[in-house]
């Protein structure tokens, strides 16, 4: 029950956000309330319940907070009215006569009645209670007249056909289509409109009942009082309170029917094992207030930016105090950008610049959070439409969480290819950047399995990969070896990938290989991002040779005005499998290109020949002739040597290099 208690505490700590709408996302809701994404019509009444006017609600203002019962909050097919705001099925006694197609029959106290009578009876009970509210009484006074649809027709908000039934589609001229048809086109038409109430009282600037916290509190107190007879021990708080019969749904989004805690029943008989009581007291119970707080907090957290969503999978992290925390599933570049920390491109260092930026970033959050502030990481997923499960749960202190985030990013840092939206020009386009950063788990999943697979399989593999990487980030566990090997294999298959994809996979493969060995207690070793010119391992040196050969051939091709792939890039997969025999092929292919550069770029060629000789001398006896498969280390040697050559080629020519040119001429 710790997650329930943590979420309930999160709700209490963030009570100032209750009812605050942010970018049309699900807000932190008052107890006893739900939210609907699309209300259609505002109906304005005076304090006596007399109709004044009606307007169509713009889509940007359509999300609405409404009071609800446990039954109406969980309604799927059976008619159960909400307490105030609802559809015409419940608000208009002539719903069926006006073209309504939904059922209007329901049961109240084992007696069959109409949805309208059920709604009216429920509203009357609220207004007769000690928690009655004058605005709610105005709505009741109006509803009892049963003239809602007629008033909306007179106000020219609704439109009927010649038989008096509401039009399913606009039957008039297409040049001017009334707003109600646009507003309800995805909701079943006018007859399924959801009505939002306004009561205008002189001196009261807030007429909208869905935003009035005095109305919220009125319903909360009334409904809590109606549940008093069902009091027992709440297993989350240890207090004796009214036990919840049903638990909320719509956790991940507005259309989510899956529940974390299944409701019990006395009909239909959902499987309950040995438990037979209605309220679950034979096992354990949660109070209505606690489950409302916990589920509302979880919805709100998922709707905010720190939640990662991948289909049915949701991973959300938060500080119980409500303070901001780093996103554990983001790459380093996005983390730094979100907090305005410098994120420079790679400049040939060994990662010192990145380490300094990362420390500044973590130090900033450490000052905000403190060392003991509770951080929670929660993973949710559903195997069926009705059941939601917790797939990952961790509680950490602020210092533990920040330490794990820092270690993940420092262990996997490497130069990456990232595309971002560039909005500086009139047309949006993708801008390619090359920051030094740790890759995001979603990018690791894409690099591991690629994009040329079935969408359903792609989603499943991405979900599984992220679930496997979460413990690596949050618990500091080693990176799964099969993910490392799969990414390395795809990076070697250069000819089978588009250039942009290969560049992205290459950077991620280097990150994973480096991080794997940093976290492997039995074979721990470390690598720098900068070229290690004194490293003598066979695989690293062969990677360097491949990078130099590619650089020579690429320049020769450019000098000759050609456009094609180099021999090194074509044979990369074969080189990884049989480096010694393949290197002979690549070296022989370089002969003609060296001849071309001898006359065009003699100084450059002299330097590269010298570099090749130096690399060859670093091989230990027997390593160069070894033709066995190369490990992922050769990609690190290749990538580091390639970056070093890029920086060298970008530098202006020195006096020594100019002298070499003259001598060779």
The predicted structure's pLDDT at residue 38: 93
| Alpha-carbon gap, residue 195 to 81, rounded angstroms | 13
The predicted structure's pLDDT at residue 658: 47
| Alpha-carbon gap, residue 417 to 505, rounded angstroms | 9
Residues 312 and 304 sit within 8 Å (Cβ to Cβ): no
What are the structure tokens assigned to 378, written together?
A: 């929660």
- Helices 115-128/213-226 angle, 10° precision: 100
| Alpha-carbon gap, residue 579 to 598, rounded angstroms | 27
| Alpha-carbon gap, residue 195 to 179, rounded angstroms | 15
Q: Which of 392, 540, 579, 541 is nearest to 470 (CA)?
A: 392
| Alpha-carbon gap, residue 607 to 557, rounded angstroms | 18
| Alpha-carbon gap, residue 182 to 169, rounded angstroms | 10
Query: What's the Cα-to-Cα distance from 323 to each of 306, 365, 369, 407, rounded to whole Å?
Result: 12, 9, 7, 22
Question: What are the residue ranges in the chain where pLDDT is below 50?
Answer: 346, 426-427, 655-665
> For the chain, how far is it from start to end, CA to CA, in angstroms?
81
Half-sphere exposure of residue 214: CA atoms within 13 angstroms, side-chain side: 9
Instruction: Identify the bridge partners of residue 287 per DSSP, sorted by sequence position.
Output: 243
The predicted structure's pLDDT at residue 660: 42
Instruction: Identify the bridge partners of residue 35 per DSSP, sorted by sequence position.
Output: 65
The predicted structure's pLDDT at residue 318: 94
The predicted structure's pLDDT at residue 270: 55
Helix (H) or strand (E) holding 613: helix 602-618
The predicted structure's pLDDT at residue 97: 92
- Please state the pTM of the whole predicted model: 0.88
- b/e 595-615 (16+ beta carbons within 10 angstroms → b): ebbeeebbbbbbbbeebbeeb
Query: What's the Cα-to-Cα distance from 154 to each of 52, 53, 56, 146, 606, rounded to whole Å?
Result: 11, 10, 14, 14, 91
The predicted structure's pLDDT at residue 656: 45
The predicted structure's pLDDT at residue 662: 43
The predicted structure's pLDDT at residue 343: 52
């Amino acid at each position: 029950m710790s997650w329930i208690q943590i979420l309930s505490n999160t709700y209490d700590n963030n009570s100032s956000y209750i009812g605050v709408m942010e970018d049309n996302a699900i807000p932190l809701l008052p107890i006893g309330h739900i939210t609907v994404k699309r209300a259609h019509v505002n109906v304005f009444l005076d304090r006596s319940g007399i109709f004044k006017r009606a307007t169509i609600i713009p889509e940007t203002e359509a999300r609405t907070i409404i009071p609800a019962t446990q039954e109406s909050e969980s309604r799927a097919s059976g008619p159960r009215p909400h307490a105030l705001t609802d559809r015409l099925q419940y608000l208009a006694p002539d719903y069926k006569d006006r073209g309504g197609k939904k059922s209007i029959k329901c049961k109240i106290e084992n007696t069959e009645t109409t949805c309208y009578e059920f709604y009216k009876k429920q509203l009357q009970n609220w207004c007769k209670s000690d928690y009655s509210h004058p605005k709610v009484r105005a709505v009741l006074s109006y509803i009892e007249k049963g003239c809602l649809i007629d008033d909306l027709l007179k106000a020219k908000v609704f439109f009927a056909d010649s038989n008096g039934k509401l039009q399913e589609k606009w039957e008039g001229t297409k040049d001017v289509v009334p707003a109600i048809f646009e507003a309800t086109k995805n909701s079943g038409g006018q007859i399924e409109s959801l009505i939002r109430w306004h009561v205008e009282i002189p001196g009261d600037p807030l007429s909208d009942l869905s935003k009035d916290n005095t109305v919220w509190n009125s319903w909360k107190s009334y409904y809590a009082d109606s549940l008093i007879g069902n009091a027992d021990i709440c297993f989350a708080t240890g207090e004796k309170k009214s036990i919840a019969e049903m638990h909320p749904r719509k956790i991940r989004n507005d259309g989510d029917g899956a529940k974390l805690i299944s409701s019990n029943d006395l009909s239909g008989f959902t499987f309950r094992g040995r438990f037979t009581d209605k309220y679950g007291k034979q096992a354990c119970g949660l109070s209505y207030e606690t489950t409302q707080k916990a589920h509302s907090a979880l919805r709100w957290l998922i709707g905010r930016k720190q939640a990662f969503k991948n289909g049915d999978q949701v991973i959300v992290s938060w500080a119980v105090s409500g303070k901001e925390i780093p996103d554990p599933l983001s790459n380093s570049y996005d983390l730094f950008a979100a907090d305005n920390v410098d994120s420079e491109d790679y400049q040939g260092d060994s990662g010192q610049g990145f380490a300094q930026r990362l420390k500044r970033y973590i130090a900033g959050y450490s000052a905000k959070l403190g060392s003991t502030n509770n951080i929670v990481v929660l993973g949710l997923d559903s195997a069926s439409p009705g059941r939601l499960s917790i797939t990952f749960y961790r509680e950490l202190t602020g210092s533990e969480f920040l330490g794990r985030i820092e270690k993940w990013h420092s262990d996997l840092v490497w130069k990456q290819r990232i595309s971002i939206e560039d909005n500086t020009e009139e047309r949006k386009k993708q801008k390619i950047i090359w920051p030094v950063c740790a890759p995001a788990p979603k990018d690791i999943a894409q690099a591991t399995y690629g994009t040329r697979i079935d969408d359903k399989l792609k989603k499943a593999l991405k979900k599984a990969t992220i679930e496997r990487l979460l413990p690596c980030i949050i618990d500091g566990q080693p990176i799964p070896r099969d993910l490392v090997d799969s990414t390395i294999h795809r990076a070697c298959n250069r000819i089978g990938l588009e250039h942009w994809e290969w560049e992205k996979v290459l950077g991620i493969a280097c990150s994973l290989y480096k991080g794997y060995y940093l976290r492997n207690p039995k074979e721990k070793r470390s690598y720098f991002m900068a070229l290690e010119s004194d490293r003598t391992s066979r695989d690293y040196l062969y990677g360097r040779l491949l990078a130099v050969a590619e650089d020579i051939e690429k320049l020769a091709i450019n000098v000759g005005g050609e456009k094609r792939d180099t021999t090194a890039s074509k044979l990369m997969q074969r080189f990884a499998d049989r480096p010694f025999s393949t290197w002979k092929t690549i070296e022989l292919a370089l002969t003609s290109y060296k001849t071309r550069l001898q006359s065009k770029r003699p100084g450059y060629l002299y330097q590269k020949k010298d570099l090749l000789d130096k690399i060859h001398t670093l091989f230990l006896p027997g390593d160069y002739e070894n033709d066995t498969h190369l490990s992922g280390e050769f990609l690190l040697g290749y990538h580091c040597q390639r970056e070093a050559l890029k920086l060298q080629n970008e530098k202006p020519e020195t006096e020594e290099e100019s002298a070499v040119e003259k001598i060779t001429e």
